[in-house]
Chain A
Amino acid sequence: MKKFLVSPSPHFHGRENTRRIMRDVIIALLPAVAVSIVYFGISAIKLVVLGVVTCVLTEFIIEKYMLRRKVTVNDLSATVTGILLALNMPASSPWWAIVIGSVVAIGIAKMTFGGIGQNIFNPALVGRVFLLVSFPVVMTNWSVPHSFLGTSLDAVSGATPLVLVKEALDGGQTVPQIFAANPGLSYSQLLFARIGSAGEVSTVALLLGFVYLLARKVIRPYITFSIWGSAILLSGILWLANPAEFTDPLFNLLTGGMMLGSIFMATDYTTSPMNKWGMIIFGTGIGFLTILIRRFGAYPEGVSFAILIMNATVPLLNKWCKPERFAKEAR
């Protein structure tokens, strides 16, 4: 008689797999990639390609020749890290910066912990912060986005809205004065195109990706919404208390890495909590820390640091915040 397979239930598996999830994240990042290519042209393409190739290659070499185990680059997670790191860099940064950042992201932040699913800190952010503290000049040389292809862009550089405001405040100006002097700070500019890293120039493109991730149930909204909510709350209180010293909540939401960070970086599965309340505490922490760092820290931008700090709390949050159980114990 023909022999049949015997195994315990369940005998079915859903359609979900890691590669499919990562592919969805890549699709969600496409609008932001497209916008950065439109604004920065060849330099944006160069960044993304270099980031992806270096990340994938680093993972491949480490797994194949150092760990001598099955190579997992097919799960596309290194590709996601590469794209995210590229989107976090100034478009004008030199080729070696993204290469070094990618090696650090995959080699140190991810593989030393055991690879996918095991790392404590977000690899792309570790790569970015490593570059920021090692090569501060390169990492803050922002090119001005230009919506017309073919114009030479790399030569033009300027300050990001956050830098501009922080420097002017430190120089003794008040917030309304700064806004009056800089038409580039208008909300329409902030929504569609502003100075910043390759991926954060267009808030609208990032929001499109967010909607896609939610619709595909790749992420849940708790982390992102808590970041926005707490950032609005803290910056709102400060702004209401002293509108001359502090920028308004909407400005804080639309500038820097807030959107890119809250939608794509803080929601990374491995480095964020798994249960609802853990997610809410995690997101709230990021929102508060971001606003505090922006106004009172040494750097004009704090999203990366805020996320990395909160990454460290994830094991504890997973331990403390349990999912809603079906029922109470009878015993």
Chain B
Amino acid sequence: MKTFSIGGVHPNDYKLAADAPIENLPIPDIAYISMSQHLGVPAIPVVAVGDKVKVGQLIANAGGFISAPVHSSVSGTVKKIGPVKDLSGKEVNTVTIETEGDEWIDTIDRSGDIVREIKLDSKQIIERIKECGVVGLGGATFPTCVKLSPPPGCKAEFLIINGAECEPYLTSDYRVMMEMPEQIIIGAAIMMKALGVSKGFIGVEDNKPEAIEKLGAFEKDYPGIKVVPLKKKYPQGGEKQLIDAVVGRKVPSMGLPIATGSVVQNIGTTLAVYEAVQKNKPLFEGIMTVTGNCAPGQKNFRHRVGTPLSKIAEYAGGIPEEAVKILSGGPMMGKAISNMDAPTLKGSSSILYLTEEQTKRKEETFCIKCGKCIQACPMGLEPYLLNKLGRINDMEGLEENRIFDCIECGCCQFTCPAYIPLLDTIRIQKGRVMRIIKNRPKK
């Protein structure tokens, strides 16, 4: 069975919510819709305080090329346009809407029918995806339309759908694959048409055999699309690792994935593409997992973007007493939440409760040169060395040892028997080295 070629670790996968069907969360009384739900420039609001909006109505335009429009997730009245704190407490321009009823714009096809025929052509598909504000839901929230338009001189050969969901605990992609397999296949077919490629792969880790089976059942109806089972290993869902695992090509250092002829899209994104293109539905809902060993229940929810996290936690049974850290995302790459009043975003994937025993950092001891971080690094770097050079600010040394290749997956720190916070140092110094490289005069 396929997997990526070097490094990786095997955290316990804790897919506790795997069997919980997706439930619709109640519509929030007040929705806080952030203008920064994507990588790049914030969106620019096109509504004013006092305006009445419907579900799915455009409320903000893309602020630039790398940006995405934002749509209302509720119907009601715009109460405020201004800063609201996000999950880490940073103030972000946000449109606050007070909900009245649930009135949708009438262009959205709300029927449960699966639309199989793809009527739009390649250009129209990309345009529609752009208009509907679809962004990558695997973590980076990079605008999907940009990824589907390879830069001049680059030719796409494959579309790879990322169904690895290699982070422990997260099950939202799994539930989508289980409950909407054909929509995923159609979403993939749409993006293949947009890219003009004839080969599409859906990479799924072998700890999800039922999803592999469900998706696989459609292979015969949609020629060109293949489901590829992958041997479970973290970080399989990393873009570079997934391309390596599925098509056996390696993204060059400092290069783009398209250099291998591959375009990678996440499962959630694929569903959003299907809904945008076939149902004319902008991206204003998302699927997220509420889980944790100490969680009062294991849940998968469909949420309206802008729902406060605290409301979701409350609906799911409250924040457990034992939780000392709450994450948005998985335990390997997720973000710690300091503000539970923050609203959900398009890319929100989870609320994960961790106990003190699970997450408390232990005191750092001496590096024993065991080399386990090197064996764990999926990029073939030497984290112990980068940490050592980083702590003495040896920028040349860091660049020579390719700190810029780090994907911040956390495998090194996860493995380190001396509890050295390797990634803390590497992350900071990587940012500095990248700035130095960027500002260097080109020869």
Interface residues of A (CB under 8 A from B): 1-2, 4-14, 16-18, 20-21, 72, 75, 77, 114-118, 269-270, 274-275, 322-331
Q: State whether the Cβ of B1 lies closer than 8 Å to any Cβ in chain A.
A: no
Give Cα A18–Cα B367 distance, bound, in whole angstroms: 9
Task: Determine the chain A residues whose CB is within 8 A of the CB of B370 once the complex forms.
Answer: 21, 269, 274
Q: State whether the Cβ of B224 lies closer than 8 Å to any Cβ in chain A.
A: no
Partner of B333, one of A10, A20, A75, A325: A10
Contact bitstring B232-252, A, C-beta under 8 A = 1, else 0: 000000001000100000111
Give Cα A75–Cα B365 distance, bound, in whole angstroms: 9
Partner of B338, one of A6, A270, A324: A6
Partner of A4, one of B252, B325, B372, B405: B325
Q: A4-B338, A325-B379 are in contact. Are A11 and B359 (CB under 8 A)?
A: yes
> Separation in Å of the A323 CB from the closest CB of chain B?
5
Give Cα A11–Cα B354 distance, bound, in whole angstroms: 9
Do the beta carbons of A12 and B338 come within 8 Å of each other?
Answer: no
Q: State whether the Cβ of B371 lies closer than 8 Å to any Cβ in chain A.
A: yes
Query: Interface residues of B: mostly helix, strand, loop or mixed?
Result: loop
> Separation in Å of the A270 CB from the closest CB of chain B?
5
Partner of B414, one of A6, A8, A10: A10
Do the beta carbons of A10 and B338 come within 8 Å of each other?
Answer: no
Task: Determine the chain B residues whose CB is within 8 A of the CB of A72 once the complex forms.
Answer: 365-366
Give Cα A324–Cα B369 distance, bound, in whole angstroms: 18
Q: State whether the Cβ of B394 lies closer than 8 Å to any Cβ in chain A.
A: no
Do the beta carbons of A4 and B336 come within 8 Å of each other?
Answer: yes
Do the beta carbons of B369 and A274 come within 8 Å of each other?
Answer: yes
> Separation in Å of the A215 CB from the closest CB of chain B?
16
Do the beta carbons of B252 and A7 come within 8 Å of each other?
Answer: no
Number of A-B contacts (CB under 8 A): 160
Q: What is the chain B residue whose CB lies nearest that of A324?
A: B380
Do the beta carbons of A2 and B253 come within 8 Å of each other?
Answer: no
Query: Interface-forming stretch among B29-37, B71-79, B204-212, B415-423?
Result: B415-423
> Separation in Å of the A97 CB from the closest CB of chain B?
28
> Separation in Å of the B9 CB from the closest CB of chain A?
7
Do the beta carbons of B368 and A9 come within 8 Å of each other?
Answer: no
Contact bitstring B381-415, A, C-beta under 8 A = 1, else 0: 11010000000000000000010010010100111
Q: State whether the Cβ of B154 lies closer than 8 Å to any Cβ in chain A.
A: no
Give Cα A146–Cα B253 distance, bound, in whole angstroms: 62
Do the beta carbons of A117 and B336 come within 8 Å of each other?
Answer: no
Query: Interface residues of A: mostly helix, strand, loop or mixed?
Result: loop
Give Cα A293–Cα B360 distance, bound, in whole angstroms: 51
| 8 pairs of A and B residues whose beta carbons are closest in the complex | A10-B410, A274-B371, A330-B255, A330-B252, A325-B380, A327-B250, A117-B366, A5-B325
Q: State whether the Cβ of B362 lies closer than 8 Å to any Cβ in chain A.
A: yes
Do the beta carbons of B369 and A269 come within 8 Å of each other?
Answer: yes
> Separation in Å of the B220 CB from the closest CB of chain A?
35
Task: Determine the chain A residues whose CB is within 8 A of the CB of B360 once the complex forms.
Answer: 5
Task: Determine the chain A residues whose CB is within 8 A of the CB of B369 once the complex forms.
Answer: 117, 269-270, 274
Given contacts A12-B331, A20-B417, 5 further A-B contacts (CB under 8 A): A4-B323, A16-B416, A117-B369, A118-B366, A274-B382
Do the beta carbons of B423 and A9 come within 8 Å of each other?
Answer: yes
Q: State whether the Cβ of B85 lies closer than 8 Å to any Cβ in chain A.
A: no
Task: Determine the chain A residues whose CB is within 8 A of the CB of B240 once the complex forms.
Answer: 326-327
Give Cα A12–Cα B405 distance, bound, in whole angstroms: 22
Give Cα A279–Cα B237 distance, bound, in whole angstroms: 31
Interface residues of B (CB under 8 A from A): 5-6, 9, 11, 88, 168, 240, 244, 250-255, 259, 319, 323-327, 329, 331-338, 340, 354, 358-362, 365-372, 374, 377-382, 384, 402, 405, 408, 410, 413-419, 423-424, 427
Do the beta carbons of A269 and B368 come within 8 Å of each other?
Answer: yes
Do the beta carbons of B414 and A117 come within 8 Å of each other?
Answer: no
Do the beta carbons of A14 and B11 come within 8 Å of each other?
Answer: yes
Task: Determine the chain A residues whose CB is within 8 A of the CB of B405 once the complex forms.
Answer: 325-327
Q: What is the chain B residue whose CB lies nearest that of A279?
A: B371
Q: What is the chain B residue whose CB lies nearest that of A115?
A: B366
Partner of A8, one of B319, B323, B337, B424: B424
> Separation in Å of the A317 CB from the closest CB of chain B?
12
Give Cα A9–Cα B424 distance, bound, in whole angstroms: 8
Task: Determine the chain A residues whose CB is within 8 A of the CB of B323 once the complex forms.
Answer: 4
Task: Determine the chain A residues whose CB is within 8 A of the CB of B334 once the complex forms.
Answer: 9, 11
Pull 17 A–B residue pairs with CB atoms less than 8 Å apart, ordered by A. Answer: A4-B324, A6-B88, A8-B336, A9-B331, A9-B332, A9-B333, A10-B332, A12-B331, A13-B413, A17-B419, A72-B365, A72-B366, A116-B366, A117-B369, A324-B6, A328-B253, A329-B402
Q: What is the chain A residue whose CB lies nearest that of B428?
A: A8
Do the beta carbons of B362 and A11 come within 8 Å of each other?
Answer: no
Do the beta carbons of B336 and A13 come within 8 Å of each other?
Answer: no
Do the beta carbons of B414 and A327 come within 8 Å of each other?
Answer: no
Task: Determine the chain B residues whose CB is within 8 A of the CB of A9 once the complex forms.
Answer: 329, 331-335, 408, 410, 423
Give Cα A8–Cα B379 distance, bound, in whole angstroms: 20
Give Cα A5–Cα B371 distance, bound, in whole angstroms: 30
Do the beta carbons of A14 and B252 come within 8 Å of each other?
Answer: no
Do the beta carbons of B325 and A11 come within 8 Å of each other?
Answer: yes
Q: A1-B340, A270-B368, A325-B380 are in contact. Are A11 and B327 (CB under 8 A)?
A: yes
Q: What is the chain A residue whose CB lies nearest that of B367?
A: A117
> Separation in Å of the B278 CB from the closest CB of chain A?
35
Give Cα A100–Cα B254 distance, bound, in whole angstroms: 55
Do the beta carbons of A7 and B336 come within 8 Å of each other?
Answer: yes
Q: What is the chain B residue whose CB lies nearest that of A6?
A: B336
By CB atoms of chain A within 10 A, which of B354, B371, B405, B410 has the most? B371
Q: What is the chain A residue whose CB lies nearest that of B168?
A: A12
Give Cα A4–Cα B370 distance, bound, in whole angstroms: 33
> Separation in Å of the B7 CB from the closest CB of chain A?
8
> Separation in Å of the A274 CB from the closest CB of chain B?
4
Do the beta carbons of B371 and A269 come within 8 Å of each other?
Answer: yes
Give Cα A17–Cα B363 distance, bound, in whole angstroms: 11
